[in-house]
Chain A
Amino acid sequence: KVERTDDKSYTIQPHFRKKFRPMQVEGIIQEALQEKLGKEKYNVDKAQKWTRELTEGIKTKLKDLNWDRYKYIVQVVIGEQRGEGIKMGTRSFWDSDTDNLAKATFSSDSMFAVAVVFGVYLY
């Protein structure tokens, strides 16, 4: 917690220990994907449910990290494994000092999944 001695000081940067840490978040999402999809086979109806539940679950875990003033965007893509080619990319316009992204992939015989988390700081 930043101690303010002057009423007119504003924090414009997150505290070093409370910065968005990609490695830590990567671990969280990898675990979430493994837990949810590890033993499952691709199923059209269930996949829709899984994407939604995964995004909500990951978001809740991120909130537990207690990083102040961070906004999170969680995106999960689940697809059937049929040998098709797929590519995913992202570009952002943000402050690279404070904002970052973390990603994880999961693949099995019947399906693949990609989860991306963007952490954006609110000044």
Chain B
Amino acid sequence: FMDFNDEVGGDLCCRFKRFDILFVVQTVFDKEQCIDILKKATEEVLGKQIYTQNLTGQWISNICEKCTKKLVALNKPFKYVVTCVIMQRNGAGLHTACSCFWDSANDGSCSYRLEDKSMYCIVTCFALAI
């Protein structure tokens, strides 16, 4: 709305009251939210299961697909890559490392580890901004 103000040198000076509406599009990777998604998906699929060689393939597909779907549903301008490793608990050692060449301001990764009596499960998610 307009306020007519003739104080300034007799000229008609219109003062507009502006309401600036800022749309903040979150294009920075939200790690906490992502870890939450990975955690829920893993616990949903693996729950209290015992390691079974034949079922691992199925479990991994389910976990990865659930994670991807939930991440996409966040509607953010990111491309996602989700990897999952399930290993039988045998006393053997396992090491993972990853190195990325990306835009560190907007891209990010997070991982979630589930330790069971019979197995280990590591789920990693990489999000790359478009």
Which residues 64-87 of B have a CB within 8 angstroms of A?
A: 64-65, 67-68, 71-72, 79-87
Q: Are B88 and A88 in contact (CB under 8 A)?
A: no
CA of A94 to CA of B82 in the docked complex: distance in angstroms?
Answer: 11
B69 to chain A: closest CB distance in Å?
9
Q: Contact at B83–A95, with CB atoms within 8 Å?
A: no
Segment 76-93 of A: residues with Cβ below 8 Å from B: 76-93
| Residue A42 at the chain B interface, CB threshold 8 Å | yes
The distance in angstroms between the C-alpha atoms of A76 and B100, with both chains bound, is: 12
- Closest Cβ of chain B to A81, distance in Å, is 7
Stretch at the interface among A17-25, A28-36, A56-64: A56-64
- The residue in chain B whose Cβ has the minimal distance to the Cβ of A113 is B95
Which has the most chain A C-beta neighbours within 10 Å: B79, B86, B95, B101? B95
* Contact flags B45-62 to A (C-beta < 8 A → 1, else 0): 000000101001100110
A85 and B82 CA atoms in complex are apart in Å by 21
Q: Is the CB of A93 within 8 A of B72?
A: yes
Q: Are A87 and B90 in contact (CB under 8 A)?
A: no
Question: Which of B72, B99, B102, B124 is most buried by chain A, counting CB atoms within 10 A of its CB?
Answer: B99
Contacting pair B61 A80 (CB below 8 A): no
B11 within 8 A of partner (CB): no
A and B contact pairs by CB, cutoff 8 A, 10 listed = A54-B97, A74-B100, A77-B94, A78-B96, A82-B90, A87-B56, A89-B61, A90-B81, A93-B79, A122-B128
The 5 A-B residue pairs with the shortest CB-CB distance in the complex, in nearest-first order: A55-B99, A51-B97, A91-B64, A89-B60, A84-B90
- Given A82-B91, A91-B67, 20 extra CB contacts under 8 A: A55-B99, A59-B99, A71-B107, A72-B101, A75-B96, A78-B94, A80-B92, A82-B90, A84-B90, A85-B56, A86-B86, A87-B87, A89-B61, A89-B83, A90-B64, A91-B81, A92-B82, A93-B72, A120-B79, A122-B130
Which residues does B use to contact A, with CB under 8 Å? 51, 53, 56-57, 60-61, 64-65, 67-68, 71-72, 79-103, 107, 109, 124, 126, 128, 130
